[in-house]
Structure 1
Amino acid sequence: MHRDNAPTVASGQSSDESVDLWLARERFQAYLLYIATLLRSFHERVPETIDQLSVVEDTAENPVQLLADARAKVSTDSALAAAAVDAYSAAVSSAGVEG
């Protein structure tokens, strides 16, 4: 999901239609990634997630803040939202919990 992968205009299709469809798909993919991560962390792996979040150091970036950042960006910048979800997944994976 990145703007560099934006579609080129196909014959018979206006550039606005092509870009609008691509943007909708990008946004939908970001929402799916965000929701899947929430479900894995806070439904399927609740004990592991709570254990990991309870030992977050005061100096460390709180992984939940990364999810909050993703939620704030998902409707305006799908690439940044996906990056925040990926950062959350990396943060919890490094602590032994899959995000």
Structure 2
Amino acid sequence: MKVKVHFHGILAGWTGVSSSIIDLPTNADYAALLLDIDRRFGSNMPGQLWNHEKKVFKGPILVSGNGRILKAPSDALIKGEKITFFLMVGGG
């Protein structure tokens, strides 16, 4: 199944793309997506953002897909889902 991922702000700079279509196995979950993100973009991401050992984001990353927040590795993905990654930063 295919999902479209979007990386906002500095995440796009670190991954090297603002969006990408990712082809995953049928019934893939958020953990499978993170493994694919590591394979494609992990080497570009700094250690303060990406845990290279566990293949997960560190820190305040908000992941939204089809009107819901993805958090748990077992969260099921939906075919054709648009998944957006935001780095949550404070400021004023």
Between structures 1 and 2, the one with greater strand share: 2
Normalised to the residue count of structure 2, the TM-score between the two structures is 0.29
Between structures 1 and 2, the one with greater helix share: 1
